[in-house]
Chains A and B, each alone.
Chain A
Amino acid sequence: MAIIEFQGLTKAYKDVVAVKDLTASVEAGKITGFLGPNGAGKSTALKCLLSLVTPTSGTALIRGGSYASLEHPMREVGAVIETGGFNPTVSGLKNLRIIAAAAGIPDSRALEVLDLVDLTDARNKKFKEYSLGMKQRLSLATALLGEPEILILDEPANGLDPIGIAWLREFLKKLARNGHSILISSHQLAEMQNTVDDVLILHKGRLIEQGSMAQIIGQGTLEEAFIRLVERSA
């Protein structure tokens, strides 16, 4: 069953077309990789999906409706868009409490999610004092605040060291085992090969392939498959 659907999604900024006629779907209960190089249009497509950016044409739907139409969006969808999104002069815990209040989530949940992402000890540190890895984990904590079934993560491994990446991989797999549906964008192909079940590959704003990881890579690696697909689409 498709839980997320892009239908002819196009987003243009003046002369630049960031996403062009994207039609794809994401199945429930799986980790789906949204892959492509920097500037492929992944973030723009996800921002359209999350009602942060208005599409030029087409739709991006979650469970058949727009994100903005969800009654309790953070309880249904958790999202990480970038490591920003926080007040740099305020502690991690207070930042989470600001967001929790807006979503009608009890303050106690902020402490729970900080524990889930191993940030309990750093809860009272200002956000600007966090390392990049800690910032990524705080973003993940935000996504988990509402205990959502669907997670949409934009480049969550960006800037993480190998230990952080391994931690993230195990964390996502654990969430998937617990029934979460995860759409994760990344340009780190080798890492995604070890993490995702299904793949959407975007290049220059266009979808160039969609399928299961096994189908797409065959006997090779995701990187090899990606280069082959990009050359074919050129």
Chain B
Amino acid sequence: MNLLKSEYRKLVYTRGFYGYIGGAVFLSLLAAIPAAFSVNALKSQYSGTSLMDPQLVDGIYGKATGGYLFAMLMGIALMGNEFQNGQSISTFLATPKRIKVLYAKLVVAAGAGIFMMLVSTALGFIGAYFGLKHYAHAKPDVSNFFDLIIAAIVSGALLAIMGVAIGALIKNVRLAATISVLWLGVVEKLIVLFWTTGGKFLPSGLIIGMMNVHITLSSSRKILNISTGNYFGPGISIALFLLYAAIFAAIGSWVSLRRDIE
């Protein structure tokens, strides 16, 4: 409990934490609010973009989870700042049993990631609701909201845990954050565009899988075809996400336990 309290304080005493929450809310709103309008506007170019399709409406509400990147960045900062500021010295002097410190950090990061994602997803959901309000037939159902909450909780916790592990692997916080932003924000999108079936294995694809959204958008001009039709269902998505987080956490622990604190 002592270590959890200490790690919690490290988080809430730092202004950056609130910045990450703000960033997650901003991204969620940015993803969710315009989605309804853009989908409606694209219906002439893509088949399957009608807001009459409940899966597509679910997909728009699913955009509310768009702030997940910040859960990972928060995890990176929580761990990376230890090394960047030399805080790791006082931390490990107070608790030389490093594995306990790492566990505490993972628990606090997971909790904070869940909190961040619940807040941003809830606000993104409201944003999507107002976006879709213009289209009378596009209403969310209760099961969709439940899937969304599960996706927010699981992705918030696990991405934050992966962030802690990345922070342990890469001591430079800026470098670790840049790599993560590029991966989640650019590389994953490119993979989805050019290798449609591979998307289901990526964190963003697993989040879509958890929400059980299966959409196929095909362009009449055959430029970009997007399909989440073959994505895993919620159970497999959660299991695979857990496996990724466990692998990252194991590697992060291995590195932390062996690293000299200079």
Contact = CB atoms under 8 A, between A and B. Distances in A.
B94 interface: yes
B85 A79 contact: no
Interface string A70-92: 10011000010110111111100
Interface stretch (A22-30, A97-105, A113-121): A97-105
Contact of A54 (B3, B6, B89, B260): B260
A87 B15 CA distance: 11
B95 interface: yes
B194 interface: no
Interface string A102-134: 111000000000000000000000000000000
Interface in B206-248: none
A81 B97 CA distance: 18
A72 to B, nearest CB: 10
B38 interface: no
Interface of A: 47, 50-54, 67-68, 70, 73-74, 79, 81-82, 84-90, 94, 97-99, 101-104, 142
A54 B5 CA distance: 28
A102 B260 contact: no
Contacts of A51: 92, 96
Interface in B81-128: 81, 85-87, 89-97, 101
Nearest to A98: B9
Given A53-B261, A73-B96, A102-B94, A82 B13 contact: no
Interface residues of B, number: 28
Given A54-B260, A101-B6, A79 B14 contact: no
Contacts of B97: 68
Given A73-B93, A101-B6, A87 B85 contact: yes
B139 interface: no
7 contacts: A51-B96, A53-B260, A84-B87, A98-B9, A98-B13, A98-B90, A103-B95
A104 B81 CA distance: 22
B178 interface: no
A85 B87 contact: yes
A84 B89 contact: yes
B2 A104 contact: yes
B90 A86 contact: yes
Q: Which 8 A-B pairs have the closest CB atoms?
A: A84-B86, A102-B6, A102-B94, A68-B96, A101-B6, A52-B261, A85-B90, A101-B5
Contacts of A67: 96
B96 A87 contact: no
A37 to B, nearest CB: 19
